Amino acid sequence: MTEILVVTSGKGGVGKTTTSASIACGLARRGKKVAVIDFDVGLRNLDLIMGCERRVVYDFVNVTHGEASLKQALIKDKRFDTLFVLAASQTRDKDALTKEGVEKVLKDLADDGFDYVVCDSPAGIEKGAFLAMYFADQAIVVVNPEVSSVRDSDRILGLLDSKTRRAENGETLKANLLLTRYNPERVDGGEMLSIKDVEEVLGLKTIGVIPESGDVLNASNKGEPVILDMESNAGLAYDDAVARLLGEDKPMRFTTFEKKGFFSKLFGG
Amino acid sequence: MGLFDFLKTKKNTASIAKERLRIIVAQERSHRGAPDYLPLLQRELLEVIRKYVSIDVDAVKVDLVKDGEHDVLDISVALPDERASAA
């Protein structure tokens, strides 16, 4: 059985592509056969985050239009034998993707024995975002602990509940929250929404909390998904999220702030 | 950071954020799945009623309510009190 995951958020810039790349790598590292697909037609970026931008020959739209085979368009990852990237088209035609075209590609991936297909959704609630979520079995809603991101996530949750194939068939689609850019110190100071706050407002459970970290930018600079950096808290937090996705029970890490002692407070730290 | 910084109490903006989100999310969820024609219906109803009675913009409320198996279109119109409209 192939499990189709959508990584979505509504709001842009919250870490969908970073999350898609890391989740896909994490699953592949655990031996799963994974395809990660960029649905952001016109604004291709997953290839950069995955570090395979110079190896894109054919893209998603080429496949749905029959200009290339799926096999030709899938870019094999250099680090994991079971990981493949399908790049978005850089065409300006937003209608280049169709429901039927996407369905065909997903079916071919299932026939090819893929365990997971990770769909990296574009921001917004337009066609690309709709197609990325339509066939999903499970959703990862990426959210920053910040008002506009939380509100947009709720909007996306409404669409996941109504505009997906599972919803139309009366089946449930499991949605998980993944908090990114979490800053325990600011949460401790009452300046940032806590995990519990976001869970309460959205009525969903969290599958991972990624601490705010400079390692994320360093990782994207290098084209190496941050989950591969096992010395980084953000990388470890992503690996925990992948473990939870696979059913493991792991406590959250890097989510509490160690208060400074009296003296360091008094004299500045 | 410096001497006595720890004495300052910071305003808890996270709780303000949470409260605002609670309200707006609840409001948006109540309209979720409602047909797109509701706002237009509400405006036209308002115009028709205004031909006969002088009412406020927010005096007409149109909601789609679930009642068991059925969807009920719930329209409520708050009419002004007698003395005000007698003028």
Residues in chain B with CB shorter than 8 Å from the CB of A193 are 14, 17-18, 21
In one letter, which amino acid is A50? M
- List phi, psi (to 5°) of A224: -125, 105
Q: Do B3 and A266 touch (CB under 8 A)?
A: yes
Cα–Cα distances (Å) from A32 to A23, A82, A83, A87, A244, in that order, read 11, 7, 8, 20, 15
Do residue B25 and residue A267 have CB atoms under 8 angstroms apart?
Answer: no
Of B4, B13, B28, the CB nearest to A191: B13
Q: What tens-digit pLDDT sequence spans chain A (269 residues)?
A: 999 999 999 999 999 999 999 999 999 999 999 999 999 999 999 999 999 999 999 999 999 999 999 999 999 999 999 999 999 999 878 788 999 999 999 999 999 999 999 999 999 999 999 999 999 999 999 999 999 999 999 999 999 999 999 999 999 999 999 999 999 999 999 999 999 999 999 999 999 999 999 999 999 999 999 999 999 999 999 999 999 999 999 999 999 998 766 666 666 64
Round to whole Å and give the CA distance between A203 and A222.
Answer: 36
Identify all chain B residues contacting A147, using CB atoms and an 8 Å cutoff.
17, 20-21
Taking each helix axis as running N to C, give the angle between helix A147-160 and helix A195-202, from 0 to 180 degrees, rounded to the nearest 10: 40
The residue behind tokens 């604004």 is A43
Contact yes or no for A151 and B24 at CB 8 A: yes
A32-48 confidence digits (pLDDT tens): 999 999 999 999 999 99
Closest by alpha carbon to A87, among A45, A117, A128? A45
User: Greatest CA span in chain A, whole angstroms?
Assistant: 68
User: Exposed e or buried b for every residue in A224-260, given b needs 16+ CB within 10 A?
Assistant: bbbbbbeebbbbbbbbbbbbbbeeeeeebebbeeeee
Q: Kindly report, residue by residue over A170-212, the tens digit of the pLDDT.
A: 999 999 999 999 999 999 999 999 999 999 999 999 999 999 9
Phi and psi of A144, rounded to 5°?
A: -90, 145
- CB distance A26 to A238 below 8 Å: yes
Look up residue A182 and give its two tokens. Answer: 């979490």
Q: Which H or E run includes A208?
A: strand A206-211
pLDDT bin (cut points 50, 70, 90) of residue B67 is: confident
Residues of B with CB under 8 A from a CB of A: 1-6, 10-15, 17-18, 20-22, 24-25, 28-29, 32-33
Residue B5 Cα, gap to closest chain A Cα (Å)? 7
What is the spatial distance between Cα A164 and Cα A130, in angstroms, rounded to a whole number?
8
Give residue A139's identity as a one-letter amino acid code: A
Question: Considering only CB atoms, which chain A residues are within 8 Å of B32?
Answer: 158, 162
d(Cα A58, Cα A64) in Å, to the nearest integer? 11
Q: What secondary structure letter does DSSP report for A53?
A: G
Contact A151 B18 (CB under 8 A): no
ipTM of the assembly? 0.86
Band of pLDDT at residue B83, cut at 50, 70 and 90: low
